[in-house]
Amino acid sequence: MATDNTTQRPIQDLLEALRNFSVCDLCDVMDYKQAMDYRIKPLVSAQKLIGPAFTIDLPRKDSKTVPIALANAQKNDMQHRRLGR
């Protein structure tokens, strides 16, 4: 199974500094393409997740993408899986 671990992750000190800001504040200063879709809501509001997030597009009947994405995942990575239409 081919994997690509070349995605640069932010350093831990930066993540800790970002913990002090709201998602709205961070989205206002970032490139629009990097903002999370407003329809995605937390399941537990008391927890705060901080780290790189990756969207994984899953075409219908695809059984190979998820294992590759999991193989590429590193500590504190988050995955958002978008199912085929």
In this prediction, residues 53-61 reach a mean pLDDT of 82
Domain boundaries, the chain: 12-83
Does an H or E element contain 70, and which?
helix 65-72
Reported confidence tier of residue 78, pLDDT bands at 50, 70, 90: confident
Residues 33-42: contacts with CB within 8 Å, 24+ apart? 36/80, 40/80
Per-residue pLDDT for 57 more than 80? yes
For 7-55, how does the pLDDT look when each residue is reduced to its tens digit (9 = 90+)?
Answer: 777 788 988 888 888 777 877 787 666 666 777 777 777 777 777 778 8
